[in-house]
A and B are shown apart, each in its own frame.
Chain A
């Protein structure tokens, strides 16, 4: 079964450092997402990406955050200058195109295993 893969699985960084989290979405998917889950809290939407541009972003996704699809397969989340409160599990997700009645699995997000970011 196709998977969304994320690297690294765990990263520890110092406050103020830049972090790049990488995701390889399912190959024929066209919509990409980043979510995060702070320990003990709910899963929060960060950003969605389609056709090489951001389609929606949340209030959390401020100027410190950016996303990129540099090579047609990877989908990255960059945090320019990490803060303590950025410590969380970051999930990448992707989905295909089409309506659910026509394309099996359309509109269903497939999530990666997550990247745990610890900011010290």
Chain B
């Protein structure tokens, strides 16, 4: 089965609304990373967050390792936040497995 599950699969927001993206993984993760993929394809690392809570700008990532879940919160969304958000986890082998992504569209 899918090792990393993300929800929702897609999300449409009005500019200014908040978003909560979820990531659940089926086995222990030693590394948990959130990525943003631009509509043009470029992948950018948002957070390396194996546990706890991290903030950067309008983004907050919270990972609860023993519950095998992580969330990405986007506050006051902007149209430039549109794109696909991926959660990726790896275990001791360093192999990284990606979730299927959440496609976000922020409307003006």
Q: Is chain B found bound to chain A in the same assembly? A: no
Residues in B lying within 8 Å of A, measured CB to CB = none
